Amino acid sequence: MNNWQIAAWLMLGGSTILLFIGMPVALTFISINLLGAWLYMGGEPGLIQLARSSVSSVTAFSLTPIPLFVLMGEILFHTGLALKVIEGIERLIVRVPGRLSVVAVVAGTVFSAISGSTIATTAMLGSLMLPVMLKRGYHPTIAAGPIMAIGAVDMLIPPSALTVLLGSLSGISISKLLIGGVVPGVILSIAFVLWIIARVSVSPDLAPEEKEEATYHGWERWRLFFCYVLPTLSIFGIVVGALAMGWATPTECAAVGAFATLVLALVYRVLSLEAISKSLKGTAGISGMILFIILGATTFAQILSFSGASTGLVQFIMGQGLSTTMIIIGMMLILIFLGIFVDQVSMMMITLPIFMPLVQSLGIDPIWFGVMFLICMQLGLLLPPHGLLLMTMRGVAPQSVTMGHIFMAVVPYVVMSILLLVAVFWVPSIATWLPELIA
């Protein structure tokens, strides 16, 4: 066995085993990094270099959007503006099969455009809307499924902290990657709504018609939309518009978005000290976790490269005579398989050191590949048995909603996500058309 093969088994195999047995992501990669630095970078000097690399990896300016994007969502949730957005959307959607499930998808899409956290979106919609739907006779699968599915779409529609992380770790343009997820995300949202309407139309007992549905007319029906939904969506317009037109960097856009969210909360007089405190604590917790993971991920890739494992693996795969199409399909299947067992950040850390050299060697469009990578990670959020959003839903759902209900609920949405991945694979312009406008 060659030296690079031993290094690959030790670094990639060791980290995968530790993740599978439940060790925290950051600790897994820091442990492997310490061992790798000692073995392949010269003992104590390697450990010193590891410390230097770790510091520089988390002080990169490109990571600044992560806490700012997370802060946007935290402010909306803790100030109660998110509740007003839900109510405004609910007043507009009337006489539609599975009405509350459709409201959940539309509201979730709006939150995806202003929140950088998939978990926060799912937890909020699950705790607020799921009990109401169950009380009105909705079947647990038609009630819980859309909430989890649209929470996963949060990853595709900017602002998204995980998209920024993917761009930073892979070297793909963060602004183009953020823009590239918009069209696939919107396609999925529309597909979810059409599925709900079709499913409930065929089986009305899944979501009984609301006989006591409150109806609003005239200005009262549109008041909350113009007063809350539209101003909130304008933040998304500012952030994405500035990115698309090339007027601002992702960091500047994130800063403007966070500032606009604060101003909005001030205008509505809901920005209390308690809300600010909770928002900052939530942002610090999530951002700290992500940055700690980045620390491990960056040095992991460096040690893989230094040991020769990255180069050896790439040369081995290139020497198998596989077509570019087969290699891309293989990479996507690996990502989907990993999504069943490990979280999204672990997927990036295990695969990117090998995948990105292949992408560069084969001349694959990095934006196209990056968007497919995002779709695979979005799928991983929903795949049983360890999908992060399945666990989130279990945490906020009433006891009457079992894990069996939750697993069954996500099946059609997983299928639609796979179909989207296939569509983007065969029609790359779905992912690249919008980013090309900012080229």
Q: Residue 436, SS3?
A: helix
Residue 417, pLDDT score = 94
The per-residue pLDDT for range 259-284, each reduced to its tens digit, is 988 999 999 888 889 988 988 888 88
Higher pLDDT, residue 203 or 403: 203
Given a cut of 70, whether residue 192 has pLDDT beyond it is: yes
What is the Cα 367 distance to its own chain's centre?
Answer: 16
Name the more confident of 59 and 329. 329
pLDDT (average), residues 363-383: 91
- How far CA 309 is from CA of 11, 16, 122, 301, in Å, comes to 9, 15, 39, 10
Count how many domains the chain has: 1
For position 368, what pLDDT does the model report? 95
Give pLDDT, residue 1.
56
| Alpha helices (H) along 308-428 | 309-318, 324-341, 344-362, 366-380, 388-396, 403-426
Residue 56 lies in domain: 3-436
Q: Is the pTM of this model over 0.85?
A: no
Kindly report which listed range (7-11, 322-326, 376-380) carries the lowest average pLDDT score: 7-11
Average pLDDT over the chain reads 82
Query: Sorting pLDDT into bands at 50, 70 and 90, what band is 239?
Result: confident
> 268-272, 398-402, 412-416 — which is least confidently predicted?
398-402
What percent of the chain lies above the pLDDT cut of 90? 18
- Using the predicted structure, report yes or no on whether residue 156 has a pLDDT greater than 60: yes
Residue 95 DSSP class: S
Residue 427 reports pLDDT greater than 60: yes
Instruction: Give the whole-angstrom CA distance, residue 122 versus residue 382.
Output: 12
Largest CA-CA distance found in the chain, in angstroms, rounded: 75
φ and ψ of 268, to 5 deg = -85, 0
pLDDT at 2: 61
